[in-house]
A and B are shown apart, each in its own frame.
Chain A
Amino acid sequence: MLTRLLRVALTGLAITAVSSAPALAQQKTSIKIGFVTFLSGPASGPFGVPAKLAAEGIVESLNAGKGPAPYQIKGIGGLPVELVVIDEAGGATKQVSEYRTLVQRQDVDVVIGYIGSGDCLAIAPVAEELKKLTVFFDCGTPRIFEEGSYKYVFRTRPHATMDAVAATMYLLDNRPAVKRVSGINQNYAYGQDSWNDFEATIKAMKPGVEIVTSQMPKFGAGQYGSEISALIASNPDVIHSSLWGGDLEAFMLQAQPRDIFKKSQLVLVAGEPYLHRLPGKIPDGTIVGARGTNGVFAPDSALKRWLVATYKAKSGGLDPNYPAYSVAQAILGVKAAWEKAAAKKIGSATPMGAAKNVKEEMEKAYAPPTQEEVIAAFERNVFDSPSGKVHMNLGKGHQAVMGTAYGSTRFENGVVKVGSIKYYDADRVTPPEGVSSLDWIKSGFKRTK
C-alpha cells in the first residue's frame, strides 16, 4: 500500500516537475529580479552574503522611496521590486540550469548576480539565447567582453585588469627601488590571472625586476606554513597577493607571527573587506585595494551615506565593503537605465491633441519600458553610484569603466585605517576597447590600437 502510494507520488512529482507551466503573464505590477550570489561555500562569507544583505537593504529602501537623488522614484520606475535569491554554489553547470529556471520558470524580469568568473562566462551566452537582461555585479575576468559580444549582458563593475595595473603604479610610486618580487595567489583562474597581470605589469613598468617565487596554494588550502617559509626564504622586497576570504585571513594569521612583513612589502589587491576583521594582524604600510573606488575609497556623497546607512541597518552595524558597493552599482544601473528608458518614452510620446487615440497613446507612453528599450538606455549610459560615476564604455557599451584607488594601512586606536590614498583614472588602468588585457600590458599600456 505504502509502496503504491509512494510510486504514485513519485510519478506525480515527475509529471508535475515537467509539465507545470509558469503563471500566465499578467499586467505588470512589480519587477522581479533574480539575484544570484554565494550563500554557501568559501565565497559566501566575504562576498555572497554581504551582497545579499546589500541587495535586500537597497531594494527595501528603494521600494519605500527612500533612495537619494537621482533615485527617489519608488522601486524601479515606480514598480516595487521583488527579489528571488538563488545560491551561486555548485559550479557553472548547475548555475546554467538554475539560470534557465530563473528565467523560464520564475519568469524574472532581470537577473543580477554572479561572483564567480566561470559562472559569468557560462551564463553570458545563455542570457543571449534566452534574451534576458542580465547584469553581472561582481565577477572580474576581462574575458567576458574580450571573447564575446553580447546584447543582453552588462557588467556594472570594472574588470580585474586595473587591480594589477594600479597596484603596480602605487607600489612603484612608494617603493621605486623594488627588485625582488614574489607572489602568493590561489591556484584558480582569478588567482592566476591576478598574478599574471601583476607580473606582466611590473616587468613592463620596471624592467629588470626579478620574480623570486610565485606560490600557488590550492584554493581553500588553509595551511600556508610551507608557502610562508618559501616566501621568507626567497627574501622578496614585495609580496603580491590576491588572496581573499578565509584564505587571506588564514594566511595573515599564520604569516604575521613569522616576521615575514618586516622586510617585505605586502600588496593585497583585494584586501579592503578584511581590514576591519583583522585588526592588529595587518602590518602597517600594507598596500590595499578594493577593486574600484569602493568602501573606504569611495568619495563622500549622499549616495555613499545612503548605502552605508542602509547596509548598517541590515547587517547589524557593519560598514559596507566592496561587494555591497558592487551590488548597489548593479541595481542602480538597472534602475537608471529603466527610468531613462521610461522618460524617453514619455518624452517622445505624441503631444496631446495631435494623436487620434489620446488615451491609447498615453497608456503606451506610460507603460513600463520594454526590455529592448531598457537595454538601449543601458548601453553607454552614465549613472551615479555610491562609488562615483559609472561609465558603460567598454564592451560596446556593456562593460563599466571606473577609476580605482589604492592606499596604505595604518593601525590606529584598534582599527585599521587606510591613508595615502591615490586615485587612478579609468583611462590609465583599463585597456581600450578591442584590446585584450595582457596584450595591452605587454604593449606598454598604449591608449589606441
Chain B
Amino acid sequence: MAAILDAKGLNKSFGAVTAAKDINVAVEQDSVVGLIGSNGAGKTTFINMVTGYLKPTSGAIHFDGRDITSLSPRQITQLGICRSFQIPQLFNTMTVHENLLVGVGIVAAAGKRWSSDNHTYADPSKAVDAMLDEFNLGAYRDRTAGLLPEGTRKLLDIAMAMVVRPRILLLDEPTSGVSADEKFVLMDMVMAAVKQHKVTVLFVEHDMDVVERYTHRVLAFYEGRIIADGEPTDVLNDVEVRRYVIGGHIAPAGAASHA
C-alpha cells in the first residue's frame, strides 16, 4: 500500500538550534500513528512542517504523491490535511455551533474547488448538529466557546479540524489538560469519528497508556531525530526510548498543557 504521507530527509533549524534532523516518515492510509518524545524533541515541529506552518530547511513532504513542501497551511488544509493544537484555537466569541459552522461554511463555499473528495454539506446547520452529536458536544451547542472548560475546548478544537473533512488528521497533544478519567472518553470519541470518516491520524501524546491503547505505530523523537519507529509495544520497550523518552520528563496525567 502506497504511503499517503511521505516525509523525506526533513531538516529544520532555527539559527543554531536544530529542531528536526533527517526525519524520514512514510504513513500509510488509515493508520494511527503516535508521536512521543520529551518537550523540545521535535514532535510539534514535525506537525508544523507537515501542515505548512514551518518550512523545512531541507527535505520534502509528499501527500498522496503530491509535493506539499512549499504550500501554505491553507492550501494543505484544502488538500485534506488538518490539525488540532496544543492550545485550542477557537473562535472565542462565537458559540460552539458557530465555531463549527464556520468550517462547514468554508467547505460549502469552496464547493468542488477543494480536494478530490467531493464533500458538500446540504444543510450546514444540520451537519454541524450531527458533528456535535458525534463529539458529544450537543449540550454545549449555544455556549460561548471562550467560556468552556478546558477539556471541552480540546474536544471542540479537534472537532473543528474534523469538520473540514480531512484525510489526514494531526493532533497536537489532544489529551493535555484533560483529566485522567476523561482522557479515554475523549480518545474513544475521536477515534470513532476518525474510523467512520476513514481518516489517517498522527497524534502527539505524553501518556503512554493512551499511546499503547490507540496506535498502530509509534514514532519516538529525541533532539530532533526519530530514534525509534515501529509497533507500539516494540517502541515503548526500546532501550533508547526508555532512557531518553519515557524515563525523561513526561507530563504526568492531568498536568496542564505546556508550551
Direct contact between the two chains A and B in their complex (CB within 8 A): no
